[in-house]
Amino acid sequence: MVNRKLIIDVGMHNGEDSSYYLSKGYSVVAIDADPKTVVNVKKKFQNEINSEQFTVLNNAIAEQDGLKIDFNVSEFSSWSSIKSEIANRENLGINTVEVETITLNSIFDKYGVPHYCKIDIEGYDEVCLETLKTYHEFPTFISVESECVGEGQVLTEEESLSTLTKLKALGYTKFKLVDQTYLEVLKPNEDYFDHAKILTFENPSIVHRIVKKIYRTLGIDSYHFSYREKLSKKLNFEFSVGASGPFGEDLEGEWLNFEEAKTCLLKHRKDYFNLEAASAYGFWCDWHATN
């Protein structure tokens, strides 16, 4: 039976998302493969751990339990991954650490099936979903990265749909595609962000040239700032860059069926890669799914 008070945070990083879930009163089980990250998070959330609201596991999610594997730690910690080609983007991979593996099935067996499961493990999200295929029950809500590739890697359209297809195979029928830079739900009937020209500052108007200068000096852009500010006011929580953000019914927009979701992804992905500033791993989106 799904525990409506439980959230499992797979790939907790520095606890950005766990902090939000805890603030909403959920019990949280969080998993991360980087031992240094786990130590820091345990210090940060000592009170929540002592009260048994928060459990932190130092494991890598993989196909089998109990294996000892090398985990690649990146200087840019958000890129740390089992996959070396992701951790070493921009030549930022610094070392490997040995960590024990665990399957998502085993976590569900021990702690329960969560109301929501966030999965963000840099290139291993699909493996995480694969391990659930034989499980008997699934979270009410789940989210995974739509794709995560190494430097210079190019996906075909079919490959880019793989994560969505795996969610469908688990029985999920409703989907939302969320751009992780802005935490905004993408719609199938609009261009890749109507504000993309503000984002990349391609709009030649004097207003946007001034905005460009001011906000680049501050290290932010106007839309990024205003949309996150909107979310902060709505949900009474400030999401840092890198956080997966809201989930479930707190996401704006309508849920899409599978065919609509496919159309949405392929359109926005094509629009993104047509941008002059596009990078091989810059289409940074999460799928959220439910029934």
User: Does residue 30 lie within any of the structural domains?
Assistant: yes
Contact (CB, 8 A) for 31 and 59:
yes
Contact (CB, 8 A) for 244 and 141:
no
Kindly report, residue by residue over 64-106, the tens digit of the pLDDT.
Answer: 999 999 999 999 999 999 999 999 999 998 899 999 999 999 9
User: Does residue 218 lie within any of the structural domains?
Assistant: no
pTM higher than the cut 0.95: no
User: Does residue 222 lie within any of the structural domains?
Assistant: no
User: Does residue 7 lie within any of the structural domains?
Assistant: yes
User: Does residue 227 lie within any of the structural domains?
Assistant: no
Kindly report, residue by residue over 161-220, the tens digit of the pLDDT.
Answer: 999 999 999 999 999 999 888 888 999 988 775 544 444 444 433 444 444 444 444 444
Give, for 233, the enclosing helix (H) or strand (E): helix 222-235
- CA-closest candidate to residue 121, choices 61, 175, 34: 61
Total domains in the fold of the chain: 1
Structure tokens at 51: 């009260």
User: Does residue 125 lie within any of the structural domains?
Assistant: yes
Dihedral sign (CA 43, 48, 50, 55)? negative
Domain range enclosing 159: 2-188+242-290
Q: How far apart are CA 196 and CA 259, in angstroms?
A: 25
Q: How many CB atoms lie within 10 A of CB 191?
A: 13
CATH at 92? 3.40.50.150
Q: What pLDDT sits at residue 104?
A: 96
Contact (CB, 8 A) for 1 and 113:
yes
User: Does residue 237 lie within any of the structural domains?
Assistant: no
Q: How far apart are CA 216 and CA 232, in angstroms?
A: 22
Indicate if the pLDDT at residue 6 is higher than 60: yes
Instruction: Please give the DSSP secondary-structure letter assigned to residue 245.
Output: -
Give, for 116, the enclosing helix (H) or strand (E): strand 113-119
3-state secondary structure labels for all residues of 155-175: CCHHHHCHHHHHHHHCCCCEE
Kindly report, residue by residue over 15-74, the tens digit of the pLDDT.
Answer: 999 999 999 999 999 999 999 999 999 999 999 999 999 999 999 999 999 999 999 999
User: Does residue 202 lie within any of the structural domains?
Assistant: no
